[in-house]
Homo-oligomer: A and B are copies of this chain.
Amino acid sequence: MKNIKLTIEYDGKRYLGWQRLGDSDKTIQGKIEGVLTQMTGESIEIIGSGRTDTGTHARGQVANFKTNAKMTPDEMRDFLNRHLPRDIVVKKAEEAAARFHARYNAVGKQYSYYIWNETVPSVFARNYSYHYPQKLDIAKMDEACQKLTGTHNFSGFSALRKTKKSTVRTLDKLSIQKEGGMLHLTFAGDGFLHKMVRIITGTLLEIGAGELELAVIDEIFASNVRKYAGDTAPSHGLFLDEVFYH
């Protein structure tokens, strides 16, 4: 039996996120499993590196599945791309070690969040960025990024209900780049809590716009209270860029 690793790109707009629900037709996982089952004649279940929310995009989601199919990985990739809708593309299919597990073996992830920071909206970025026309103090946002970087309990920056699992994560990188009218936030770390990237983004924006003070970050880390943070930035500005493995 082969263990196949897939690297997947998708436009989240039409989907209820990664994870298969009852109606498999509305999730990325469901769409891919449907084609794999058709391809192999087996009942295939794929393991993703993690979920992505409704509307969130991916440039490098990773998943794996086991199959007895005789096709080469390139043939599988091409079959998938011929049968998947055009907003889901398998960039790579490769044989992985028998024990490879896309979720358990992931040691980190990188996300991007795009903010269109101009008065006038952008046609071509409209589905791939959050239009936030307020004037932003980028230097202050940079300071906030410094405070957020490192190892912290991020539960105040998450949509989690109370949990016994650890909510401590290490944010290795949080940077802001200005590319014309677009702000590009890059997040890299060992793991991310539910909606953590979008809540941090919303908080950074309110700090940049002067609606929240820089000190709010210390308060949230001290109290772990979600309501002190900014609004959750919308899902259509968010991309899962890459999943890291050893």
A contact residues vs B (CB 8 Å cutoff): 9-11, 57, 59, 77, 81, 86-92, 120-124, 126, 128
- Top-4 shortest CB links A-B: A9-B123, A89-B123, A11-B123, A86-B126
A223–B10 CA distance with the chains assembled, in angstroms: 47
**Residue ID in chain B nearest A86 by CB atoms:** B126
Q: Which listed residue (B11, B57, B89, B121) contacts A81, Cβ 8 A?
A: B121
**Residue ID in chain B nearest A9 by CB atoms:** B123
Distance in angstroms from A125 CB to nearest chain B CB is 10
Residues in chain B near residue A87, CB distance under 8 A: 123, 126
Query: Which of A11, A81, A91, A124: most chain B CB closer than 10 A?
Result: A124
Residues in chain B near residue A91, CB distance under 8 A: 120
Q: Offer 17 A-B interface pairs, CB within 8 angstroms, sorted by A.
A: A9-B122, A9-B123, A9-B124, A10-B123, A11-B124, A57-B124, A77-B120, A81-B120, A81-B121, A86-B123, A86-B126, A87-B123, A87-B126, A88-B123, A89-B121, A89-B123, A91-B120
A128–B122 CA distance with the chains assembled, in angstroms: 15
Q: Which listed residue (B86, B89, B123) contacts A120, Cβ 8 A?
A: B89
Q: Report whether B120 and A90 are in contact in the complex, using a CB–CB cutoff of 8 Å.
A: yes
Residues in chain B near residue A126, CB distance under 8 A: 86-87
Distance in angstroms from A34 CB to nearest chain B CB is 18
A66–B142 CA distance with the chains assembled, in angstroms: 46
Distance in angstroms from A189 CB to nearest chain B CB is 24
**Residue ID in chain B nearest A90 by CB atoms:** B120
Residues in chain B near residue A122, CB distance under 8 A: 9, 89
A29–B89 CA distance with the chains assembled, in angstroms: 35
Residues in chain B near residue A77, CB distance under 8 A: 120
Residues in chain B near residue A121, CB distance under 8 A: 81, 86, 89
A77–B133 CA distance with the chains assembled, in angstroms: 15
A sample of 11 more A-B contacts (CB under 8 A), given A57-B124, A88-B123, is A9-B122, A10-B123, A11-B123, A11-B124, A77-B120, A89-B120, A89-B122, A89-B123, A91-B120, A92-B120, A124-B128
Distance in angstroms from A54 CB to nearest chain B CB is 17
**Residue ID in chain B nearest A74 by CB atoms:** B119
A59–B180 CA distance with the chains assembled, in angstroms: 15
Query: Which of A77, A121, A123: most chain B CB closer than 10 A?
Result: A123
